[in-house]
């Protein structure tokens, strides 16, 4: 059960409703049968000044990036696995598969093992993994990713990793539930 009260659009002040509208306009079916937002978005409409900016950044990173979507999804699931952010994993492991990441690679990333990946996916995974492991990227990894992505792309990947760490923290801190009937990937201690 989430730690924040779940709100419907009608329960929000105008600023929260505006954030709600911008979030739902750029993301698929994220409203529950009860009329609440799934994922980190309930928190964002609770603090709409911050939520609006986070939603805009997320949309820009996913939909305006110079980096191929398949590679973005590799980075996102690498971050989600590190923080064991169940909702993030649930949403983006599906997207990774849809955009061409292999099931074997997705499974290995969930276990935080080194997956067998084509070079482009491996370079992005290595950047994301190093960032979430210790906040740095070694020279060889950086150079390989920069060669693949260019300066703009490497900035976008690093920013994406930071953004999805923030999303993971939001999901985990507020104990955001998976959609009904979905199973958790990692064991939870329930605290």
Question: 100-152 pLDDT, tens per residue?
Answer: 999 999 999 999 999 999 999 999 999 999 999 999 999 999 999 999 999 99
CATH architecture of 68-172: Up-down Bundle (1.20)
Which residue, among 168, 174, 7, 160, has the nearest Cα to 87 in the 3D structure? 168
Q: Report pTM.
A: 0.92
Question: What dihedral angle (degrees, nearest 10) is formed by the CA atoms of 31, 132, 142, 58?
Answer: 20
For residue 97, what are its two tokens?
Answer: 């598969």
What are the domain boundaries of the chain? 9-62, 68-172
Question: 36-76 pLDDT, tens per residue?
Answer: 888 899 999 999 999 999 999 998 998 899 999 999 999 99
For residue 189, what are its two tokens?
Answer: 């201690």
């Amino acid at each position: 059960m989430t730690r924040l009260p779940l709100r419907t659009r009608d329960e929000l002040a105008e600023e929260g409703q505006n954030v709600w509208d911008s979030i739902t306009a750029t993301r698929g079916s994220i409203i529950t049968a009860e009329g609440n937002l799934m994922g980190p978005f309930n928190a964002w409409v609770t603090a709409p000044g911050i939520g609006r900016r986070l939603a805009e950044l997320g949309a820009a990173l996913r939909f305006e990036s110079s980096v191929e979507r398949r590679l973005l999804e590799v980075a996102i699931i690498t971050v989600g696995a590190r923080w064991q952010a169940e909702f993030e994993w649930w949403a983006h492991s599906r997207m990774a598969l849809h955009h061409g990441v292999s099931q074997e690679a997705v499974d290995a990333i969930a276990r935080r093992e080194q997956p067998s990946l084509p070079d482009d996916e491996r370079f992005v995974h290595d950047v994301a993994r190093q960032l979430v492991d210790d906040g740095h990227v070694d020279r060889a990894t950086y150079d390989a990713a920069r060669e693949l992505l260019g300066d703009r792309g490497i900035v976008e990947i690093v920013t994406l990793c930071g953004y999805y760490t923030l999303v993971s923290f939001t999901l985990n801190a507020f104990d955001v539930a998976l959609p009904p009937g979905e199973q958790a990937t990692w064991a939870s201690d329930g605290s």
